[in-house]
Structure 1
Amino acid sequence: MYDVVIIGGGPAGQSAALFTSKGQLKTLLLDNEKGLTQRALIRNHYGADDVPGGELVAVGRKQAEKFGTEFNKANVTNVIKKDEGFTIETEEGDTYEGKQIILATGANSKLAETIGLNTKPSSEPYVKHVVDVDAAGRTNIEGIWAAGTAAGVSVHTIITSGDGAKVAVNLLSDLKGERYVDHDAL
């Protein structure tokens, strides 16, 4: 069983994975590799020159893998709460087990609605509904968190990646019982 299963491999999901893996949580990221970032040209991401979205995603994946994140291509169809954790079902017929879930599915709220998460209208253009979360990223189902555009933040990659990091730090803080801080020294 994974400590954390992240659904969605764009900037929010990969940023969350970077923090959870670096925080010593066994992390799996499931992604259908169809996210909007894959098709974007990004000219407003701090620390990066003009970069095709696919390249930005590839760099994020490499960083998360360095700290132990496992990646699988999958179309997640449902997340079912169990006595301990969750079972994640995929269109391909595979299942995965996780103690905590971070939903980072971008503009697609279909999975959130299938799971039974509360949603609300979005203020972002082209995004109809988002997951209703508290300030930390918690949803109405204990153990399921949401980050990035799926949680109602702006679609800009710099903002969604920051929100993924925020949600991961809040999850780590909850699990550790104290504020989690990730600082490296030279």
Structure 2
Amino acid sequence: MELETTRTSDSYDVVVVGGGAAGLGGALSLSRARRSVLVVDAGHPRNAPAAHMHNYLGREGMPPGELLRIGRGEIAGYGAEFLDGTVREVARDGSGFVVATATGERIAARQVLVTSGLVDELPDVPGLADRWGREVLHCPYCHGWEVRDRPVGILATNSFAAHQALMWRQWSDDVVVFAHTGPEFDPADREKFAARGIEIVDGEVTGLEVRGDRLVGIRLGERVIEREAIVVPPRFRVRADFLAGLGLAPVPMYMGDEVIGTHLPAEPTGATTVPGVWVAGNVTDMRAQVISAASAGVFVGSMINAALIEDDVTSAVSALRGSHVG
């Protein structure tokens, strides 16, 4: 979904990089605090492949794009502005920053809120990407209800597969684990699988069986195992290359001893190690669902406003003292 560009200035209190739930939440908090805000968004939200979003109280089942459309309208009503584009670089400029886009715009900002999210990098199995967000899933809290009581497969590519299998068993009593390229399951996991009626199928998955635009099975060579949904463990890679010039780089995200992706670390307030640069949503918390990302954006927006108030007061005190000199 593209944004209607409404930029009227080359300088803002805050530039928000990313117009998903976290970015719009931050922009809402800041614009209601009477801050000048520009949201720069490339129009590629992570949840675009999903037809509906869930676990958002009061918005249950709403298409993701509809939430963004409503949110943008609400925020525009408080004076926030929008720019359809991709941020190429954020650079320090005196006490503030310059945000440069891929098409050459240069926008000054006192503070920057990064809500650029992440990319789900899927296992290298033909057909997975085409059905991502439909029958190829990863979060039971997002999609478990929709595939309840249906045949579900778990693609094992790392040690997290055992946890996924036992978790998805809550939504269906027909769960099969495809050993694929994952590690060998230890005796304790196998005992748990047996106790919960979870089967392990050995062999490498070679593709999906689709009929009439509907997933009906998982292929292992010539063999097809009937499944109507397949759970995959994506690698979560944050979108943050544009911060490299500030010395902000993603760090590995671990689950146990295994790296499952990257994230930008931050203080509980959303502050990064670069003063004036803040983060919210999936770029720092891969577990954040839409409602929690929006909430984080609102909270971090209030923290940014507090920092700006402190700067405003400091500047006003300095000006007052200067007026008394002589």
Q: Same fold (TM over 0.5)?
A: yes
1:36 to 22, 38, 46: 46
- RMSD of Structure 2 on Structure 1 (CA): 1.8
Structure 1 stretches of at least 4 aligned residues deviating more than 6 Å after TM superposition: none
Q: 2:268 — aligned with what?
A: 135
Gaps of 5+ in 2: 1-10, 119-238, 311-326
- Provide the C-alpha distance between the structure 2 equivalents of 1:102 and 1:127, rounded to a whole number of angstroms: 25
Give the match for residue 109 of structure 1: 240
**Cα distance per residue 1:63-87 (max 9 Å; x no partner):** 1111111001011010000113111
Deviation at 1:58, TM superposition (A): 0.7
1:168 aligns with 2:301: yes
1:91 match = 102
SS in 1 for 2:47: helix
Give 1:137 deviation, angstroms.
0.5
* Cα distance change of structure 1 residues 19 and 136 upon mapping to structure 2, 3 Å threshold: same
Q: After the TM superposition, which residues 1-186 of structure 1 pair with which residues of structure 2 at under 5 Å, given as runs?
A: 1-40=11-50, 41-107=52-118, 108-113=239-244, 115-122=246-253, 128-177=261-310
1:39-74 CA-to-partner distances (Å, cap 9, x unmatched) read: 332021111131111101111111111111100101
Label 1:26 to 1:163 Cα distance change in 2 as closer, same or farther (>3 A). Answer: same
- CA–CA separation in structure 1 for the residues paired with 2:48 and 2:302: 25
Q: State the Cα distance separating 1:128 from its structure 2 match.
A: 2.0
Assess, with a 3 A threshold, how the Cα gap between structure 1 residues 122 and 57 changes in structure 2: closer, same or farther: farther
Cα deviation, 1:8-61, whole Å, max 9, x if unaligned, reads 000000000001001010000000001113333202111113111110111111
- List gaps (5 residues or longer) in structure 1: 178-186
Residues 153-183 of structure 1: CA distance to partner in whole angstroms, max 9, x if unpaired? Answer: 5231011111101100111122224xxxxxx
Most deviating of 103-112 and 83-92: 103-112
Q: Taking structure 1 as reference, are residues 8 and 51 closer, same or farther at Cα in structure 2, changes over 3 Å only?
A: same
Tell me the amino acid that sits aligned with residue 281 of structure 2: G
The CA distance in 2 between the partners of 1:115 and 1:89, in whole Å, is 13
State which structure, 1 or 2, has the greater radius of gyration over its C-alpha atoms. Answer: 2
TM-score of the two chains, using structure 2 as the length reference: 0.51
Aligned partners of 2:306, 2:260: CA distance in 1, in Å? 30
Q: Which is further off, 30-39 or 20-29? A: 30-39
Distance 1:144 1:154 in 2: 21
Q: Quote the Cα distance in structure 2 between the aligned partners of 1:78 and 1:156.
A: 27
Q: How many residues align?
A: 176
Q: Structure 2: how far apart are the matches of 1:120 and 1:152?
A: 12
Equivalent residues of 1:104, 1:147 under 8 A apart: yes
Query: Structure 2 counterpart of 1:104, which letter?
Result: T
Percent identity over paired residues: 27
TM-score (norm 1): 0.88
